Structure 1
Amino acid sequence: MTISSSKKIYFASDQHLGAPTAEASFPREQKFVAWLDEVKQDAEAIFLLGDLFDFWFEYKTVVPRGFVRVLGKLAEIRDSGIPIYFFVGNHDLWMGDYFEKELNIPVYHTTKEFTFNNKTFLIGHGDGLGPGDKGYKRMKKVFTNSFSKWIFRWLHPDIGVKLAQYLSVKNKLISGDEDVRFLGEENEWLVQYAKYKLQTKHYDFFVFGHRHLPMEIQVGENSKYINLGDWIGYFTYGVFDGNTFELKKY
């Protein structure tokens, strides 16, 4: 993709709409929609890196109630011709083809490489990457198993969605019981993952979410790891203008 001189690529992650309640997250949804409305003015493309919703599950004919403002804004932007790319996170990993069929937004379940103006990017949500977190990695395999999804689908949506939302909000990052702080490069698994990937291929930028902590870390001579932060406490996002990448606060 070539970025024209007047355009930019925008990145955002971890809005967790619906947490801890729909009412409590509504101001965040309004703020995020306002941001989308603003960036569409000069966006070459928009990348959403997962956990847009605190819980999302697609039954064959039903999706979770709510979020009409953000879904409507995404539809409007996509219909205007601006590409939007969505990467599932650990809270919306049960996303199927709803975004693709209803909004014409491609959905990715793994990291993907992109090249913008000869700069190479590796982009993804970030959960389960790098060393450690073996408990989550085992749990993710269970959750993404087709049999597990088939079993859950048999629960009536009024029961299944309510149960999943309750368990999702128990996540300490959302409840505020966990202090999100920098752990040092040696303990930041996504930093270690980026350095490992650089052993076999060069990337100018690694862009991830998941950590809820805005970060810019040099991981190679000409390579940088970016974490986008979140839209719970930081309201940060990334901007690439074709040459430089910046983290900004809305």
Structure 2
Amino acid sequence: MTLSKNKKIYFASDQHLGLPNHKDSLVREKNFIKWLNTVKKDAEAIFLLGDLFDFWFEYKKVVPKGFVRVLGKLAEIKDSGIPIYFFVGNHDLWMDDYFEKELDIPVYHSPKEFTINKKIFLIGHGDGLGPGDKGYKRMKKVFTNPISKWLYRWLHPDIGMRLGVYLSTKNKMISGDEDAKFLGEENEWLAQYCKRKLETKHYDYFIFGHRHLPMEIEVGKNSTYINLGDWISHFTYGVFDGKDVELKKNEIKIEPK
């Protein structure tokens, strides 16, 4: 991928729409849409790195109720010719083909390499990577198993959605979430993951979400790990201008009434 003149690449993650209730989530959804309206003016592409929804499950003919504003905006942007790439997070890991069929947005279930303006990126959500967190890693294998998804579909959507929302917010092992506290550069497990990847190949940038903490850590010579933060507390995002990636904060926000 090569950037056109005056164009940029945008990265955002962890909006968790639906959390903690409809009223508060709607404010965040409108804020995120306002940001999308701003960045579409000079976006070469937009990368969404997972947990757009706090819970998402696709039945054969049913998807979760709500979120029409953000889904419509993504469709509009994609139809205008701006590519959008979506990486599932631990809260929307049960995403199937709805985005691909309805919005023409590719969906990735693991980190993927991109070369942009001769810079090599490794991009993903970030859950289950690096050392530790063995309980969640085992749980993720169970949840991503095709048999598990097939069995879950037998639940009526009213029951399945209510159960999924409950587990997403209440069970930390199932959701894979941790308290958003900086662990120090040497203890951040995604930074450790990046350093291990550098043992076999050079990457200029590692872009992840999941940690809900905006951070930028040098993990090797000319190699940087960037975490995008979230849209719950920080409202941060990443932008690549063709040379460097910069973390920025969305300052223009709609306040709750």
With normalisation by structure 1, the TM-score equals 0.97
Work out the number of aligned pairs and report it.
247
Q: Which amino acid aligns with 2:155?
A: L
* Number of the residue aligned with 1:130: 130
Whole-Å separation in 1 of the counterparts to 2:193 and 2:204: 14
Alignment of structure 1 residues 16-31 onto 2, 5 Å: 16-31=16-31
Q: Which amino acid aligns with 2:159?
A: I
Q: Which amino acid aligns with 2:241?
A: D
Secondary structure, in 3 states, of the residue corresponding to 2:186? helix
1:3 aligns with 2:20: no
CA contact (8 A) 2:178 2:211 kept: no
Q: 1:171 to 1:240 in 2, by over 3 A?
A: farther
How far residue 24 of structure 1 moved from its aligned partner, in angstroms, is: 1.9
* Number of the residue aligned with 1:63: 63
RMSD: 1.4
Secondary structure, in 3 states, of the residue corresponding to 1:233? coil
How far residue 184 of structure 1 moved from its aligned partner, in angstroms, is: 1.1
Whole-Å separation in 1 of the counterparts to 2:25 and 2:112: 29
Q: 1:60 to 1:179 in 2, by over 3 A?
A: closer
Q: Percent identity?
A: 78
Whole-Å separation in 2 of the counterparts to 1:50 and 1:127: 10
* Number of the residue aligned with 1:119: 119
1:216 aligns with 2:197: no
Whole-Å separation in 2 of the counterparts to 1:130 and 1:166: 27
Alignment of structure 1 residues 39-188 onto 2, 5 Å: 39-170=39-170, 179-188=179-188
CA contact (8 A) 2:78 2:104 kept: yes
CA contact (8 A) 2:238 2:245 kept: yes
Structure 1 gap segments, 5+ residues each: none
Whole-Å separation in 2 of the counterparts to 1:62 and 1:121: 35
The ranges of structure 1 where at least 4 consecutive aligned residues each deviate by more than 2 angstroms after the TM superposition are none
Whole-Å separation in 2 of the counterparts to 1:151 and 1:246: 43
CA contact (8 A) 2:8 2:242 kept: yes
* Number of the residue aligned with 1:195: 195
Whole-Å separation in 2 of the counterparts to 1:181 and 1:221: 26
Whole-Å separation in 2 of the counterparts to 1:178 and 1:198: 25
Q: 1:2 to 1:131 in 2, by over 3 A?
A: same
1:32 aligns with 2:32: yes
Q: Which amino acid aligns with 1:78?
A: K
Q: 1:134 to 1:38 in 2, by over 3 A?
A: same
Structure 2 gap segments, 5+ residues each: 251-257
* Number of the residue aligned with 2:254: none
How far residue 178 of structure 1 moved from its aligned partner, in angstroms, is: 6.8
* Number of the residue aligned with 1:241: 241
How far residue 179 of structure 1 moved from its aligned partner, in angstroms, is: 4.6
Deviations 1:51-105 (A, max 9, x none): 0000000000000000000000000000000000000000000000000000000
Q: Which amino acid aligns with 1:65?
A: K
Whole-Å separation in 2 of the counterparts to 1:25 and 1:34: 14
1:207 aligns with 2:207: yes
Secondary structure, in 3 states, of the residue corresponding to 1:90? coil
How far residue 186 of structure 1 moved from its aligned partner, in angstroms, is: 2.3
Q: 1:171 to 1:16 in 2, by over 3 A?
A: farther
